[in-house]
Structure 1
Amino acid sequence: MAAARDELNCFICQEVYAKPVSLPCGHNFCQDCISESLNTQDESRFYTCPQCGKRFTARPSLQKNTELCEQVVKLQSAREKSQVLCTYCVNPPAPAVNTCPQCEVSLCATHLAAHEPLKHNLVNATNSLENKKCSVHNRPLKYYCPQDSACICSHCCLLGKHKGHQVNSLKNASKVKKEKLKNDLQNLLSKTEEAKTTIQNLQKSLSIEREKSSDAENQVIAIFRDLKEQLNELEKKVLSEVSTQKDEVLRYYSNLIMKLEEKEKEQSQTMCDIKKMFRITDPLSLLQQTDPDKATTCKLEKEERKEVPLIKDFDADLILGNTYRSLSAILTFNSLTDVKYIKKEEGASEESLYDKPKQEVDTALGTKDPECDDVSVCPVIDGRTYRLEMRSAGLFRCTKTGIKFQVKHPLTIEYEFDSWENHMTPLHREGYLVISRLFNIKTTVPPGAVLAVYLPHDLSAADCEVYKSYIKCVHYRDGKIILESPTRIDPSYITLENPSFCCLGALVEKMWMYISSFFSFPGAVLIYGKKLMTKYLIHLYLVPDHESQLKEVIHTKECGNGFHWVDKPAYIRSAYTTKIYFVSGPESSRITPKELHFLFTKPTAHYPYSDIRIDNKETRISLNIRERGEKYKIWECQLEDDDLERLSKPGDGRTLPADSTIFVRKNYKKLCARMPLLPPILLDLRVRGVINGDEEDALLRPNLLPSIQNDTLLKMIVQKGAEEEFCNVLKERDPRLVEDLESAME
């Protein structure tokens, strides 16, 4: 409406047009406004349009704009209608202040004073009273019916459809509504304040997390920068050692070739002299000739009688072994103590430790065993075979490969390096990490002749301490792998006493060493409890979700001690072995210890748990687990009355892993026929790591009957041994079906 009024305003006076006329250029003005403007231009005899500036050589004629006049008239009538005037004022009519719906009159301030003693319900001045009257009885609306949420007249209360309803006056009803609106406004204000507080807390958390991520980013950059520096330094040192050893080998062979060439020349000259003597036919002349140089011949004979010198070869295996050990030390953030380089004095050039006496080497590397004094032996190398001759009882170390043998009497051992790839299956490669060379000992050694063997390995001192429990010596015999725990582990050697020889090496269980340390795994919380005289005793475990054997061991132990398994939601999406979790309970609880650990271990009854003792007066017990340093809960549950009543029973009617297997086996056909919608179940199983995406797609192939889908899934669950995870998912998705099948089993 405002835009319409702007279109009807004159460009000159900015008011609504009064007798609008048009110039030949098409612009409109009030007749008086444009006439006055043209009059001012008579002297110049040039006339211009005030709006567009177009020039006219003669005074332009003014044409009445009929259409615009009609619009102005409509606008003025609309203005007059929108103004409410007093019904009783005659000349001139005064603006009304209020309207009385009952009397159907509008009153100015003067007539309102005379009308007030009637005490009628007045409203703001209006020309429209339709919404103030009852649409049925055409009477003023005086009451409000809360039952129908409607404003009604007196006839509606007495005769209409609202007869017998509890009604209020409009004034009281409006007070009630305003009170409700006030409460709603107060609630919204409090919620707004809570939202602001939450936003502030989240902003603080966001700032903290940004700082954490920034610190982590800076630390990662610093770590990799340091690693690059150390790797560059290591590369320079190793390449320097390679160059030094290469120069020594090349110099050795060059000198040897030069000497042999000189010998070849001497021998060729002697051969020429002998051939000349052969060509002499006169016996007397032949016998009178001087023999070839006897000194040269004697020298050659003496050199031929000498033992042939050992071949000096380029020891790539030792350099690579040292490089691997140095890389391991770098990656575990240790100092480069295993790098085979030392400096004699400040400013002196670097020198290989291979040319140092053994005592200096052990001192530089920190690998000297104070309890044993080994003897260095240089092996005889025949192709790939190393022959180590030990001429007395004692501990001997091969200078080329680093392996040690402690022998009871003089002994000769032959061995060669074998390839792990020839023996390790794909399963072994996934489960174990190679940490030493594989020695194929070819000599048949009498029992008891070798007291111990010392295998050099590639782990740093820190890794040896951390992963000591997972290091194994391995034998390969008749195509089978035999694992054996070593007798002793130190930063340089893995010692195995009374060994049996064949292919011998060292491995570390990679699954436990790496994956459990750096990645998260689905976890499960196990709750066991029983009621004592005055206390509830609860044991809480945090275990890997897929470790059925560990759960069975724990379950057997707890049930044997009279504890009951409490069936509560147990699944935790992510748990880390490197983190510590804290257990919390009611104020009356005593928790020992509060720290709970998530570990990957072999199935044992000594898995860590939290012992919780709570007064038996409690009717509801809240338990939760938090990660150390974090506020949010990774798991929580409520033990209600029925859960606590089960703790006082003499026996537990359920078992955890065994019952799941029995449940699936006994209800196999019923599950095929009655299992609920499959996609949600498959989604939960995939989240828990029971099935993968390809298996899920295969089970959801189109045109596959539900019974066949269920049968295929159950076969897959039984084959994977994942009955427990399947039963937990089924309990969450269709608890009634599980209860029905369990009651049928009983």
Structure 2
Amino acid sequence: KTDSSSYQFWGPDGNVAIDLIDGNLNTYSVHFPTAGWYLWPATGVAFGVRTAVTVKIAYASWRKHLAQQQDESWLTAGPLFDIIVDPEGAISKMHLPHFISLQLDEVDISWFQVAHFTDEGMVLEQPAQVEPFYAVLENPTFTLRGMLLRLFSGTHLSVPITSTTLLYYHLHPEDIKFHVYLIPSDSLLTKAIDEEEARFHGVRLQTSPPLEPLNFGSRYILSGSAHLEIVNQELKLSYRSPEEIQPFSKVYAGQMKEPIHLEITDKRLGNLVWETLVKPVDLHVGDALASPTFSGAAFVKEHYRQLQARMWCLGGVLDDLQDREVLSEDEKELVEQEQTRQKKNKTLLSLVEKKGDQALELLYWSLSTRDPYLMSYLRQAGLSLTR
């Protein structure tokens, strides 16, 4: 398992690295050196490029930008991006992801609109083409507020969408706990939930998504093996902005000596829409992470090379370590003077490692706070390698 899609575009001459400018604001920058087609697999965003161009991309909040819109006939249909292009006019075509299902022919593509947010408010445009999972924009213009695919429909409950089921486990000495989420297939929502779960050492298990489209606004029931205790069995498939707390079901499984079965059914129709089987062996590799004796210092040492290659939020980490007297002002400047991100990472890791395990623990704490998505990935990658 790799994270190549998380920080890379696939381009005509190979992969193009993405720079994380601000982890808290989810702001990224990428430079496309030549004309061609570039795809960001982690999000579904793609650009047709006429010439060399720099693109700045930030995730934005629908709740914030729709606060002044009083039209209930519009349905959020995918993530919202704030995109700035330099030079302007260098992008000939763009693919904008959406999670509306087209396979059942229940959605009229004329309902799809592209929303631009300007100082004057929301402007709507018809996309040039709508395909499963994305809409095509030709010769797009970009505003500071960003743009997103929007779906017009007067019957929200009948709108079929592609969805994702996320399953996390938390190990405790007496009771193993699971969190189950049912959400639209939106990369930003998944990222936000991964980060929130990582803060509490939740580990995501690999599961299949629902095989058939589910209905937006419908309610679904989580059930499972007889001995399980389930809190909040009913899940409503709806969209909440990534900065909001996402609803989930909590499942208590005791000491988990036997496999458990989980399933989700449509509340109204009663048909099965998702199921999975979890065996004790799936969880044992995570004991060290959930144990009170888990060592952040050991984690940093184990993932030394990956951290050297992938650490992004250096500014905040350096501030944290200086505030806690792990690094002096001179040592902080020594890191900042390096010419490349990888060299900065290498210098930082070397300086902290020489100061001992307590310093490494503080580095682990800072990284978990500043870049929980990276730390969650490293934990899951470690589990995959162990398996």
Instruction: State whether TM-score is above 0.5.
Output: no
Please state which band the TM-score falls in when normalised by the shorter chain. 0.3 to 0.5
Structure having greater relative contact order (Cα 8 Å, sep ≥ 6): 2
Structure showing greater radius of gyration is 1
Provide TM-score, normalisation by structure 2.
0.37
Structure with higher strand content:
2
Structure with higher helix content:
1
Provide TM-score, normalisation by structure 1.
0.20
